[in-house]
Structure 1
Amino acid sequence: MFPQRVRLQYETSLCNATCLIGCRVQRLPEGSTERYTRWINSLTQDQLITQAYTSHGPTVVMPTWFCSRKLFLKVGLFDEGGKGVPEDLLFFYQLLRQGSRPFRVDQGLLVYRYHERAATHSVTEETIWKLRVDFLQERVLSQWENFTIWNAGKQGRKLYRCLSLTNQKKVKAFCDVDENKIQKSFYTYEESKQRPKPTVPILHYKEATGPFIICVKLDMTGGVLEENLNSLQLKEGTDYFHFN
């Protein structure tokens, strides 16, 4: 870490005592996990909360964390389950449940090293997926009467299938930009035990209504997704949340 890290994060904590404080990072080797690093460093302070449901994990990364012992004990320490347990994600979710929030010092104060034997690689994608789906249902979907899943493809359908029956019934439509998917008109949940099998309309995104759960990967469409969202004049954290 850089010499000024502790001082700057400590000074920030004096005015943000109930916050988990992170910072921007420099990646080593340079250029590793490029999209992830860009996400870590470019989130706005509001997005540190609204994008807590994405597959990237905690919006301030654990090597940068700084907080008071009082806050650490209040949240409840780390899960010491060992290899394969995403203790940072579990702690981060519990922090949000406690009503605290992340905050970032907008300076690069840490060199974040990437290597293939890092413990993070022992955590399976399905473990993370289940935690994320459960947290999304708890924090967002429980507050909504209905919603639209933005992506009628693999990821959107997977999310739908993993929702509780109560939340599946809240899905009023899928929406997409892919004409091939839109022309199918609806998605049928073939594996459902319900009879008749549930069907969900598939609409063009301009014909769909929010709120939305966005199941399209960030920073992968050359700005097209972001332009489409802006064209609808939607507010992140109110009208939509990113999930992928």
Structure 2
Amino acid sequence: MANSVPDLLLRKTEETFGCQMDILRTYGKYLKPSKQARVLAILDALNDDSGLSQYELGCRLHLSSAMVNQYLRSMQQEDLVRFKPRDGKSYHYELTAEGQACRESMFAEYSSETVQLYSRIKRYVKSRVLGLERSGRTRVVLFGAAETCEVVLSALMDGGLTVLALLDNDEEKHGRVFHGHVIGHPALLEQIDCDAVVITSFGKQQEIFEQLSSFSERKGIPIVRM
């Protein structure tokens, strides 16, 4: 799995697909923005703020001025964007009716693809913990309270596993409520009668696994990595 997945979770629709989508912020090894994604990001940015200059668009979307100019010229030719003089030296850009319709159509396609990706991630998570359920190890502790954990919690909702606790190494998170679970200190693991620990972090799996290896050996409790 890639360490970075766009929004990884689909929180609420307005949070995941709302203002200034993070399409262009994903530069992972496996997920990179396409031409269509960049066009949608530009349309979305202009929908939120028609007063943006070419330079401001580039800064906001992490694109060079030359690339932004190339996209804007192409979108102008397709009557998606209208150039408006800002002063004697620069312009700002507005969506045309065609541009707004294009944005909505592309947005629907993007949303559909993201939902499909989310569903695949959930199926992957379920496949990773299926062995625990089959072996009767149903009382689990989750380690890692971040975006990946949200996916895991969602995937486990209709399964046979019971989440006893949610732990994290980040002291600033301790005591906070995360999707109905109070985040605890890793030391609490010694006091919990669990059947397994599931590492709910794609980015720090190996680090956490090594941290828990001695506990696993002493207690005979398996550690499941995503």
TM-score band by shorter chain is 0.3 to 0.5
- Structure with the higher fraction of residues in strand conformation: 1
- TM-score between both structures, scaled by the size of structure 2: 0.39
- TM-score between both structures, scaled by the size of structure 1: 0.37
- Structure with the higher fraction of residues in helix conformation: 2
* Structure with max Cα Rg: 2
